Structures are given as C-alpha cells and as structure tokens.
Structure 1
C-alpha cells in the first residue's frame, strides 16, 4: 500500500493537455449515440444483413454515426453497393440510384430506429424513393422473413420517415454553434464579419490531397475507413508520450493523421495487430497505470511517472496519496480569489490542488456530454453573459464543432464588437457565474496578453477560464452533474483565429501552424497571426480568410479530425 503524501506539497508541471486525455478503458465506440437502445451493446440487430451507405448528401457526423451503427449491428458494411442487401441513402432522385433498383433502398432512420428498438424493422415506412417502393419491399430482408403488415399502407398515411425525423442538410458539414447575446435589436450592431457566412462554405474534397505532408491539407473524417489501425497506433503513441518520448510520440501522431485521411480501406490490419509491442503495450501494468493517472485532469505524463515510481497503481492509491475525503466531492467550493492567484502562475500546468479536486469530481468528469447538453450549456452561458455585457457573440468549438456526438468538456469562444468591452470580461463573467452557483471551481483564470510572435509554448495569450460548470436546476438537462467548461475571450479582430485554434484537432492545429511558418513565414495561434520578420499583424475577418491568407484550401471543421 503506498504511503500517504507528506504535508509538504511537491509541485511539478503536469501539462494542461493531459486534462484532455481519455481513460484507457475508453474504446472508439463509446461516442456512438445509443438513443433508447433496448439491447446490449454486443448484440447485433441485423446479423444476416449486409448494408451499403451512400454518403452523398450526408454530413460528416451523419456518415460517422451510420458507419458505426452498421459496423456494430449488421453482418457486414459493404464497400460496394452490389454486395449489399440494403442501401441506406438520403438521396431523393431516382436517376442517381438507378443501378440500385434491385435492392432495398431506405433512409438512414431505418438503421437508427431499428437500433433504438432493438430489432430489425420493416423497410416499408422507410422507403427512400417512392417510385422504388415496390422494389424496396420485394428486396427487404425483414419483410421477406416475416409478413409485412404495412405493405398496403397509403403513402400519405404512413409514419413519418427519416426525411422529417432526421433531415440531411444540403451542405457536407454542420456549421459551428454560434450564439448572440441579447435581443435582435442591439445598441451597437454586430459586424457581419463576426457572424458565420450564410450559406456555409462547402469543402471541395477533390482539391485536398490525402498524401500531403500537412494535416491541414487533408480531409480527416471523425471515423475513417481504417479506424481500427489508427486506434492500434494510438496505443503506441500514448505509450511513448507517457514515457516522455515526445519525438517518438509525434511520429506516431503523424502516422495516425495520415491514416485518418487515407480514402481507401487498408487490408493488412490483422498483420499490424501481430507486430511486436502493438498488442502487448495495452496490457502492460505500467501502461495501464500511466494511462489511468493521466486521465485525471491535471496529471500529465511527468507527474504520472513520478506517481508510478512511488508505488501508486490505482485511483484508490491516488486518493490516499492526495488525501481525498469522500465528502469533499459534494462539499468543497473553492474560493475564486485563490484560483486567480494560482492561475497567474499555472500556464505550464495545474498543481496538486487541482489534482485533488479532479479526483473528487472524477465520477462526473468521466461522463461524456451529449451534443444536446453541450448546446444547452452554450445557451445558458450566453443568457448569463447578456446580463453581464450586452451584445456578445460566441461559438462552441472543440470536438463538438468537429462533429463528435459526445464531448469530454465544452469549449466556448466569446467576443464583443466593442474591443473596449472585451478586455477583463472573462473575469467579470466568471465572478458572475460563481455567485450564481454555476461555476463551482476555477482551475485557471488568466488575463489578456498581446500576441507574442516569439512565444514557443502552446498556451495562447487570450483571456480564459478553465472551470467546473453545473447547469441550473431550471434547465431541462439538469442532473446535478459537474462538467468541465473552458471559457475563452478574444478581441474581435482575432476572433476567428481563436475559433480555428480552439476547434482542433491537435494534429490539424500543429500542422496549420507549421504550414504558416514553413510556407508563409508567419506565426499563427489562437491569439492571432503575425509576420515573423517584422511582427506585422494580420486580422482576418472570416474563418475562411485565415485559410486564404495561408494559401490553403478551405477545410470544414468536420474534416479536421486528424487525431483518433
């Protein structure tokens, strides 16, 4: 049993990025929205059905969701339509599906609703094209197994199909969630360049190159065709990072980002799994312990290795070492002023105070946040911000903006059209939320610093607060669950730089910064763009203008998932 930590605290940098690590037990399937599924995760709904998904007219998150549902519940997800029993599509024009007329052609809701009900549903209510209704019913694998009770149902009387339940947007990607505080008539009109473009900008995938050296020139979906291989390599990458071998970890990160953008299925996954260290690393006691420790908010690789060297192996060991008491999870409310003093010196990492807090709140922090709750948190925050300062705008960024069905935390970027009202607004707003009981802890609170073209650390110079947030009891999503929420305030002239920087993914951001340096002689981060040789600043007025300034093709956020 490890000894209890002595009274004298030992402080060591742990790195903010470690707070975003996933627990080692997390598999790539945990983000799949299960809706109201009545079956066990391992059960197949369609054990004898082969499916093919027509990706046209679907956005990135929809494609990822349907692929994962089909791979989990169907006999096989086919690469070619000719091999499938069922064609799933959002296309409504017959001439684009003419070669599929001898198949059951259904809308995506057939797959979603079948999984939700726990059994394969008949195809009739989900016919994608009504002039192919007869062909779909005749070829439906479910209707041909048991009598279909609704074959004679009139078209006008049938149950609403997925075109009304799950509309597919005409563009290839959903745009960022942006909110405006206050009524539509503002004393100071919001400049148009702070609002997203309408209609949204489509990504021209044909102009992106999957073999490019830079992730910012590739289209990286949330779930790629070779996701299993990427996950195996990610185990090695995390092992290297946990052991302090950053260069080796970066090499694996680059390999993963290249695989994420590869447009064809790699057929040698079985061989890769048999390579030495791929299957054994994940099962080693050291890797499991280091991964577990680094999944705790505030513990980075160096701190994880130090704790392991002391003989700690489990969460219980950590609780004993850091002196976490059971009642602290509910009772501890840290004073904001203490966090302000600590925050000024915490840019290199979170101290042991926050590790202790994170351990007490770990049961809440381990729960993923559904997209609907993310949006509710954004709405509540904007309503409160309107009370503090009228007329702000915001964008929910992070994994949410890249199309993830669930998030580990919530990141929101704010600004105000009047630059004089943006500075200091972060602290005022956090004080307000703290008094209202919505912010219970503040891990970091920083003020504004000018963009520094010579800075080499990853930490930007924006005003930000890393907080623990809880929805008010009046919210329909209130469950008393504490969530991690990062509030980032930017001046209006660098707002879209902040949105891009905080949207991720890590490798996409790393390579767009590298591209700006290598190809344009510029420095880019969330707090702005400057020319390196004379520090001249540039102020893009739209998100796309950042890409244009660097000579890059536009990449929608849902194609920026260059990490596992």
Structure 2
C-alpha cells in the first residue's frame, strides 16, 4: 500500500457528527498482534468519531501497544488534528515537538501491513514533520512479531508466555504522572465541576448545615435533605472564609436559596443557627442518629424502633437479643446484619488509619494474586479523597482478562474465609448484564461486603468490588462522596453523568444506548465534557 503524502490527513468527523466516514476497514487476516509492543501510544480523541476511537483502541490492543493516559508519556501521538492552533488547545507546542504526531491511518496501515510504518509519511502536522521523523521509535519489526503458543495464547519473543510474569495493560494502571490540574470555577452549577477540599475555609458552617441534612434524611424528607446537601457542596467549594463583606458573592452561589442564605446570615451574626441547636437537643434526633449508625438500620427502621420506645444501644441489644460479650453466630435470620453490627459495634466505632487501610489492602492483594495473578486494584472511598481515617475499607479490583475477572470476587472471599481473615459476609452479588432501562446502574460489578479481621486485630468493614476491565475506571467512583455521586440526577445530559459515577458502562447517547468504556479516569471526564477534578477535591460532603 502506498504511504500517504507528507502532511496529509484523513478528515475525521466531530464527536457530534452522525455521518459515517468512508474508510477501508482493516483486513483482520493480516493483523499481526505484537508489532507495536515497544511503542507507547496516546490517542487524542478530539475530532475523532466514537466509532473511530473504539477502532483505534482495538487496533492498538491487537498490536500490543502500550496505551498511555497522557501525551507526555507517549512516544507516538495519534491525532486527527492538522492545525497548530487547534492542537495547542490539547498539547503544549514544546511538548509536541518532542513526540511523533501521526494521523490515525498510520496505526491502521501499520497493523494491516504487519509492521510499524515510518512515521514521517503520516505526519499529522506539516510543521512537525521533521520532529515526527526524529522522534519516531526505531524498532526491529522482527523482534516484535508474535506467535501462538501451543496453548493458543499470544506471546512475544521479548515477553515469553509465563504465569510468573503478569504485566497489566497500561490503561488499567494509574498514570505515572497525574493529569494536569485545571482552574475550576467555584460557582459552577454542578459540584462535580467544582473543587471541594477535605477541609474548607467554612468547615464549621458546613457542619451546622449537615445537622439539618441528617435530620431531614432521618425523617425521610429526601427533598429537603438533598437541598441542604447541595448547599453544603456549594459552600465547600467557596474559596474564602464567608464574612459580612462576602455575603453578596455567597448569595450568587448555586443552590443557596433565600432560607439557606438567611441561616448563613444568622450564623455570621450569632455564631450558631437556632434550628440546629434545637435539633442537637432533641432526644428523637439523638436516638434516630444512634440507631442509623448501626449497619443494616436505615431511617425507616430507626423511626419504627423509636416508635416502639427504644432509645439507647442497650435497648437495641435487648430488642435484637444481642449480647456484646458473646460472638454472633450465623442464623440465617433477616436481622443478621444488624445483630452482627451490634455485636461488633465497639470495633466498628474505632476509625481505621490510612496506614491500617494500606496494610489491609496489601494483604488482600496478596491473596487476590494468589487466586488469579496479574490483578490490579484501587483503594477508593474516603481514603482516596484524602481522609486521615476511615470507617471502612473500599477496594475496587479487576483482572486484565475479562473471563478471569468474572467470579473473582467470590473466589477471593472464599480464600479470605479459609485464611480466617473474613468472619462474616454481609452481602455477595455477581455480575449483571448492562440494561439501558435500569434506573439504578450497578452493572458489571461483583460485590462482597464483608467483616474482615486481621489476626489479633479489630473487626473492620471491608467492601470488595470487582469490575470487568472495561468498566474499571468508572467503578473507581465507588463511595466518591454521597453528593458527588448523587449530583446530576436532574434531567437530560446530567442523568448520564450519574450513570457514569454509579459504576455503569458509560452511555452518552440516548438514541441507541451505545456503551463506551473509558481507558483512564481522566477519559471518563473527557468523554462527558467535565473538567478534571482530582480525587482529593471531591469532598462535597460535610
């Protein structure tokens, strides 16, 4: 096949285009997996249609290329952009001059012909043709040729098949360099577009409003609870201490209505909010809060228990027939989770330091890789948001092989139980196929909510979440802050944000529910058009 002329590029429709570009599909019979094993590729999605993005990622995987999450990590940048001004919106020009920037046809033709083609003939920008030629990787195509082993698995001469070597694909690993921070607007309408630090300049005020939110939630007044949660998130992102002179700016924040603003005024001038003080002194609020702190007891059950005359933990123990000094045995009763939580409440009430979270994670990963070598995982929840201590441990994990990932959570739990590390399993569920009609998106996840106890240690709540590799990065939003996940359940496009944040394959098109599987966490944000927000700035709760 004749190479493209220098500087030539195939036109690519925008993401919103519905036209189908006329392109010759790659001849799969000639595909030679492994030909780009020594190449690090970054695919810039701008000006590429969704189907082209999917095609290029598939080709890169078949060629065994190392797909990286940012252009500064790449040897070759694949892009449909042909103008410097447009390119500079996404890649710094000085950085671009140190990379080989090629058109998508370079990847297509290289895979079709079975060896890496010279980058020069596919330079994406004429201004960077010399730089592309200079920085194009020089690899011996013969050393990258792969063959099928007797077992039928693919292997390369430089990476022989061995169960002792398990290198997950690059897209499952955190980037060696985190994405560059962007300047976020604290007045943005949705909290997933704002920076919310763990401790904000107005933390005490947020704590006051959180009492109001909790009170409404315990009474199942969800609309009012959501209003206060959104007000808290808006205040969390405000970059300065709220003073009398800042009142006008605060009044302009999203979700700060007349009533909330009057309460802010009251707090500024008196140092407290009268309604909050009344709630704090309420026996009902104290008892409902106490009951709801026990795993397995929600607001509705808390109110039923209160109406029965229960007020204290002693009352709960008597009602559920639990003796804190005697271990709870499995009985199969509907109240088993509550009885376990009551029996272990002294342990559960002690927070878990970051060091202990990391130690639990390391131990579990040792057992996981003994079950299926090559797994990757991420500590999520409050730990990932930077909290100094946690109430439980949340771990998302997967295996690069989709078949190996399925059923992995159950196998892990069985091994941990055999090792004496998991004492109780409060919940265990398997994968579900994606259903576009589901309102609660828990697809493609396998979950085990467990009570974990290191040898001679305290009992800890540990949630194990297994995802298939295609949904690994969307699954990492598990417990990413209640309001951060809840935000967006309003209308239209925002509903798609919520689906993404609630561990579903990403679907941005309602007309056909086409699914997309982001290959990095930043790509999740990029696909739906949100600015990148570092996990430590997603603390939208009080």
TM class, shorter-length: 0.5 to 0.7
Within the candidate set 536, 540, 554, 2:518 is matched to: 540
The aligned counterpart of 1:488 is: 465
Distance 2:215 2:499 in 1: 31
* 1:261 Cα offset (Å): 0.3
- Structure 1 unaligned blocks of 5 or more: 1-183, 343-350, 473-478
The aligned counterpart of 2:429 is: 446
Is the aligned partner of 1:552 residue 2:492? no
Within the candidate set 479, 499, 510, 2:486 is matched to: 510
Larger radius of gyration, structure 1 or 2? 2
Distance 1:453 1:196 in 2: 29
Q: Note closer, same or farther for the CA distance 1:190–1:552 as it changes in structure 2 (3 Å cut).
A: same
Query: What does residue range 77-226 of structure 1 map to in structure 2 within 5 Å?
Result: 186-204=164-182, 206=183, 208-226=184-202
Distance 1:325 1:521 in 2: 45
Spell out, residue by residue over 1:421-445, the C-alpha distance to the aligned partner (whole angstroms, 9 max, x if none).
0111111110111111100001000
The aligned counterpart of 1:354 is: 337
Distance 2:409 2:199 in 1: 35
Q: Note closer, same or farther for the CA distance 1:375–1:424 as it changes in structure 2 (3 Å cut).
A: same
SS for the counterpart of 2:274 is coil
Structure 2 length as normaliser, TM-score?
Answer: 0.63
Spell out, residue by residue over 1:137-185, the C-alpha distance to the aligned partner (whole angstroms, 9 max, x if none).
xxxxxxxxxxxxxxxxxxxxxxxxxxxxxxxxxxxxxxxxxxxxxxx98
Distance 1:451 1:352 in 2: 31
Q: Tell me if the contact between 2:488 and 2:498 (Cα under 8 Å) persists in the aligned partners.
A: no
Q: Tell me if the contact between 1:413 and 1:489 (Cα under 8 Å) persists in the aligned partners.
A: yes
* 1:278 Cα offset (Å): 1.6
Q: Tell me if the contact between 2:445 and 2:467 (Cα under 8 Å) persists in the aligned partners.
A: yes
Q: Tell me if the contact between 2:433 and 2:443 (Cα under 8 Å) persists in the aligned partners.
A: no
Q: Tell me if the contact between 1:370 and 1:405 (Cα under 8 Å) persists in the aligned partners.
A: yes
**Comparing both chains, which one has the higher relative contact order based on Cα–Cα distances under 8 Å and sequence gaps of 6 or more?**
1
The aligned counterpart of 1:125 is: none
Within the candidate set 213, 219, 233, 1:257 is matched to: 233
SS for the counterpart of 2:213 is helix
* 1:510 Cα offset (Å): 1.9
Is the aligned partner of 1:497 residue 2:493? no
- Structure 2 unaligned blocks of 5 or more: 1-161, 244-264
* 1:521 Cα offset (Å): 8.5
The aligned counterpart of 1:90 is: none
Query: What does residue range 327-366 of structure 1 map to in structure 2 within 5 Å?
Result: 327-329=325-327, 332-334=328-330, 351-366=334-349
Q: Tell me if the contact between 1:522 and 1:532 (Cα under 8 Å) persists in the aligned partners.
A: no
Structure 1 outlier segments of 4+, above 4 Å:
184-188, 458-461, 512-516, 519-522
* 1:480 Cα offset (Å): 2.0
Is the aligned partner of 1:276 residue 2:274? yes
Is the aligned partner of 1:394 residue 2:392? no
Distance 1:527 1:434 in 2: 29
Q: Tell me if the contact between 1:513 and 1:523 (Cα under 8 Å) persists in the aligned partners.
A: no
SS for the counterpart of 2:465 is strand
Distance 1:517 1:529 in 2: 12
Distance 1:486 1:276 in 2: 39
Q: Tell me if the contact between 2:322 and 2:342 (Cα under 8 Å) persists in the aligned partners.
A: yes
Distance 2:185 2:339 in 1: 45
Within the candidate set 319, 323, 326, 1:325 is matched to: 323
Distance 2:325 2:479 in 1: 36
* 1:394 Cα offset (Å): 0.4
The aligned counterpart of 1:296 is: 294
Distance 1:522 1:302 in 2: 25
399-408 or 381-390: bigger deviation: 381-390
How many residues of Structure 1 are paired with residues of Structure 2 in the alignment? 357
Distance 1:270 1:315 in 2: 37
CA RMSD, aligned part only?
Answer: 2.1
Q: Note closer, same or farther for the CA distance 1:319–1:280 as it changes in structure 2 (3 Å cut).
A: same
527-536 or 305-314: bigger deviation: 527-536
Spell out, residue by residue over 1:335-393, the C-alpha distance to the aligned partner (whole angstroms, 9 max, x if none).
8xx6xxx9xxxxxxxx4211111000000000000000000000000001111111100
* 1:237 Cα offset (Å): 0.4
Structure 1 length as normaliser, TM-score?
Answer: 0.61
* 1:276 Cα offset (Å): 3.3
The aligned counterpart of 1:312 is: 310
Q: Note closer, same or farther for the CA distance 1:299–1:520 as it changes in structure 2 (3 Å cut).
A: closer
* 1:522 Cα offset (Å): 8.5
